[in-house]
């Protein structure tokens, strides 16, 4: 099972950009599909994006499509979420997660990184 650690969250203003990182260890990182989820205060956790092992399959939620970009560097065991044109509604805790297929329930989760966007 891979262990995941997120970083890169922080405070931003509307329209700013941030890049989140998710570093994996303890298992073969490139065996896994990597997901990004987020949870806003008082709301359920929601899917943001995912990327397969090669980067050849990527999907996004409608709320971030065109503004966020997911990528990965398997040589560094790291996945990224580049977030552009941030909006206050992007505020939340962002989690990366790993599963062996895009349809599987993630088996590993990071601890989360807080993103706060002010208007």
Residue 111's φ and ψ, nearest 5 degrees, are -85, -15
What's the pLDDT band for 26 if we cut at 50, 70, 90?
confident
Q: How far is CA 3 from the centre of its chain?
A: 14
pLDDT digits (tens, 9 = 90+) for 99-118: 999 899 999 999 999 999 99
Cα dihedral 69/79/94/5 (nearest 10):
-170
Q: What percent of the chain has pLDDT over 70?
A: 100
pLDDT digits (tens, 9 = 90+) for 11-23: 999 999 999 999 9
Residue 30's φ and ψ, nearest 5 degrees, are -80, 5
Please report, for residues 71, 97, 100, the alpha-carbon distance to residue 29 in angstroms, rounded to integers and kept in the order given. Answer: 13, 11, 10
H-helix or E-strand containing 4?
Answer: strand 3-7
Mean pLDDT of 91-95: 98
Residue-averaged pLDDT of the chain: 96
What is d(CA 11, CA 18) in angstroms, rounded to the nearest whole number? 9
Q: How far is CA 77 from the centre of its chain?
A: 14
pLDDT digits (tens, 9 = 90+) for 61-77: 999 999 999 999 999 99
């Amino acid at each position: 099972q891979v262990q995941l650690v997120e970083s890169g969250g922080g405070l931003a203003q509307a329209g700013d950009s941030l890049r989140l990182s998710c570093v994996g260890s303890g298992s073969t990182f490139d065996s896994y599909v990597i997901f990004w989820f987020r949870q806003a205060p008082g709301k359920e956790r929601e899917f943001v994006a995912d990327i397969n092992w090669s980067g050849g399959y990527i999907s996004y939620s409608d709320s971030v499509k065109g503004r966020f970009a997911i990528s990965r560097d398997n040589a560094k065991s790291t996945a990224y979420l580049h977030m552009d044109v941030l909006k206050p509604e992007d505020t939340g805790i962002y989690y990366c997660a790993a599963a062996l297929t895009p349809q599987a329930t993630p088996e590993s989760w990071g601890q989360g990184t807080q993103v706060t966007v002010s208007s």
